[in-house]
Amino acid sequence: EALGGGFFAKSNVCASCGAKVGTGLLGNARFCNYTRLYFCPQCHTNEKFFIISKVLKRWDFTPRNVSTAAKSYLQGIYDQPLFSAAMDVPPPIHQKVKQLEQIRNLRRKAKLLRDYVVQCSNFPNSRCQQEDRIAAVHLHEKDY
């Protein structure tokens, strides 16, 4: 990416360590596609990782250059359930990616089944109630 208007447009320093970073055609500044900031070569070693916003908005898993700290953070949250496929991925992508639509339909059915089970007269006294509180977090009404 071309330099222009980024984090250090005036200060010419690395966004991580504060080291002076050269700009222009022969500069050594490196752009992080996750933070949208510029870094020195020690803090940005041209490692690649996919960008969450691009996955959620465009279903684009293309690895892009990220700073060392950004890659560490992204790897740390990689397997965490931070986003809802139903809420965070736009409907047009559900239509293009059949697996997402299948997951959405299965979750919709699971929610209907949950709504039926909690109507059981024994439910308030059952062991299921505690587990239901945990599972309900993943079955939001507005998701469907």
Domain shared by 25 and 96, yes or no: no
Q: Is 9 a residue whose pLDDT tops 50?
A: no
Helix (H), strand (E) at residue 38: strand 38-39
Closest by CA position to 20, among listed 33, 35, 39: 39
The pLDDT of residue 85 is 72
Domain shared by 4 and 65, yes or no: yes
Domain shared by 77 and 89, yes or no: no
Domain shared by 7 and 66, yes or no: yes
φ, ψ for residue 141 (rounded to 5)? -55, -45
Domain of 23 in residue numbering reads as 1-82
Domain shared by 136 and 92, yes or no: yes
Distances in Å between the Cα of 51 and the Cα atoms of 65, 70, 108, 134 are: 9, 10, 28, 29
φ, ψ for residue 48 (rounded to 5)? -120, 150
Domain shared by 27 and 52, yes or no: yes
pLDDT, tens digit, 9 for 90 and up, residues 43-61: 999 999 999 999 999 999 9
Closest by CA position to 144, among listed 108, 110, 112: 108
Domain shared by 27 and 91, yes or no: no
58 CB-near residues (< 8 Å, 6+ apart): 93
Question: Among residues 57, 82, 107, which one ends one of the domains?
Answer: 82
Averaged over 102-125, what is the pLDDT? 80
Question: Is 30 within 8 Å of 41 (Cβ atoms)?
Answer: yes
**Domains held by the chain: number:** 2
DSSP-derived letter for residue 24 is S
Question: Among residues 65, 82, 99, which one ends one of the domains?
Answer: 82
The pLDDT of residue 119 is 79
pLDDT, tens digit, 9 for 90 and up, residues 59-90: 999 999 999 999 999 999 999 988 877 678 88
Higher pLDDT, residue 128 or 97: 97
Q: Is 8 a residue whose pLDDT tops 80?
A: no
What CATH number corresponds to the domain at position 41? Answer: 3.30.40.10
Averaged over 86-97, what is the pLDDT? 83
Rounded Cα–Cα distance for residues 24 and 27 (Å) = 5
Domain shared by 95 and 24, yes or no: no
